[in-house]
Structure 1
Amino acid sequence: MTDLDLIDRKIVAELMRDATLPIAQIADKAGLSQTPCWKRIQKLESSGVLTGRVALGDPTKLGFGLTVFVGIEAPDHGPGWREAFARATGSIPEIMEVHRMAGEIDYLLRVAVADMAAFDRLYKRLADAVPIKSVTSHFVLERMKFTTAYPVDTVSR
């Protein structure tokens, strides 16, 4: 991120906030005309700074009323287990995120399911697919803050 100038940071911030904005509005907020703004967006995409543009859905309205953070302790740390775990978690669409961690747990998963029964089915599917030493589940009661936008500095330095 340090290689991005102020204009690039403004463009990235606007797109992370709302990727449906017309180029004209993004250009105006970045202080550019439309063509140079579009070229910068294309460069940001080709360089991997911008990795995609998506619509965000409301999990409850889509039938995913239960979010669970699942801590996994691996029985071993060899490449065979890691590959099997990656395949298993990759094959379960309700597992939204998988992070390899440092500390007390080896992996942290963010899971979105309809309800407790759906989570139990997911748990059994994962446990049947790969051996797991221990599982700790944390059930979300309320989502108090949510964003996908990183806090990009849009102030002149």
Structure 2
Amino acid sequence: MKYSSSEKTLLRELQRDCSQSLAQIAERCGMAQSTVWRKIQDLEASGTIVGRVALLSPAHVGCKLTVLAAITLRDHAETTVSGFATLIAGHPEVVECLATSGAADYQMKVRVADVEAYEHFMTNTLLRSPFVREVQSSFVLKELKSTTELPL
């Protein structure tokens, strides 16, 4: 979808901090409040804006460890793929799960308190699942960049 420069400015500002008041957003974007309100409504209706959230500090809420897990399924039958998707959807520690090309079928980002919590999740959820053949885990040592802002 193609966006006007004012819509891109608005989207950048909302990605940066959507907790601002409508007046603050309008001032930062150089638009009238009524225009900003209408554009936000249009962007939500079109599906461009899919939600507004508060971003939490993982360390402050007890999720200090980040693990990247490469998952290989037992097979690619529809029941396996949908069963795996259902399994993952029920686990809040999985914050991202992406179907990928390459050696693994999926890459997951898992946030947990510590190594013991990840070992419990991997052993009792992933490795006991009839859908999963293999899990290769990498523990994140340091985050150099983490953002939710898309490049516009």
What is the TM-score when the length of structure 2 is the normalising length?
A: 0.95
- Are residues 1:98 and 2:97 paired? yes
Residues in 2 aligned to 1:60 and 1:26: alpha-carbon distance in whole angstroms: 29
Aligned position for 1:155? none
Q: Which has the higher contact order (CA 8 A, sep 6+)?
A: 1
Residues in 2 aligned to 1:134 and 1:49: alpha-carbon distance in whole angstroms: 36
Residues in 2 aligned to 1:109 and 1:53: alpha-carbon distance in whole angstroms: 23
User: 5+ residue gaps in structure 2?
Assistant: none
Aligned position for 1:119? 118
User: 5+ residue gaps in structure 1?
Assistant: 153-157
**How far apart are residue 85 of structure 1 and its match?**
0.2
Q: How many residues align structurally?
A: 151
* Aligned pairs for 1:140-151 within 5 A: 140-151=140-151
Deviations 1:2-55 (A, max 9, x none): x21011111100000101111112112222100111000011011111111100
Q: CA RMSD in A?
A: 1.1
Mapped contact 1:64–1:113 kept (Cα < 8 A): yes
Deviations 1:78-129 (A, max 9, x none): 1100011011111111011110001121100000000111001111212223
Off by >6 Å, runs of 4+ in structure 1: none
Secondary structure of the residue aligned to 1:21 is coil
Residues in 1 aligned to 2:80 and 2:37: alpha-carbon distance in whole angstroms: 44
Deviates more, 1:127-136 or 1:20-29: 127-136
What is the identity, as a one-letter code, of the residue corresponding to 2:140? Answer: V
Residues in 2 aligned to 1:129 and 1:88: alpha-carbon distance in whole angstroms: 8
Secondary structure of the residue aligned to 2:132 is coil
Residues in 1 aligned to 2:113 and 2:121: alpha-carbon distance in whole angstroms: 11
Aligned position for 1:131? 131
What is the identity, as a one-letter code, of the residue corresponding to 2:64? Answer: G
What is the identity, as a one-letter code, of the residue corresponding to 1:103? Answer: G
Deviations 1:132-152 (A, max 9, x none): 222110101111111100121
What is the TM-score when the length of structure 1 is the normalising length?
A: 0.92
Secondary structure of the residue aligned to 1:129 is coil
Mapped contact 1:88–1:130 kept (Cα < 8 A): no
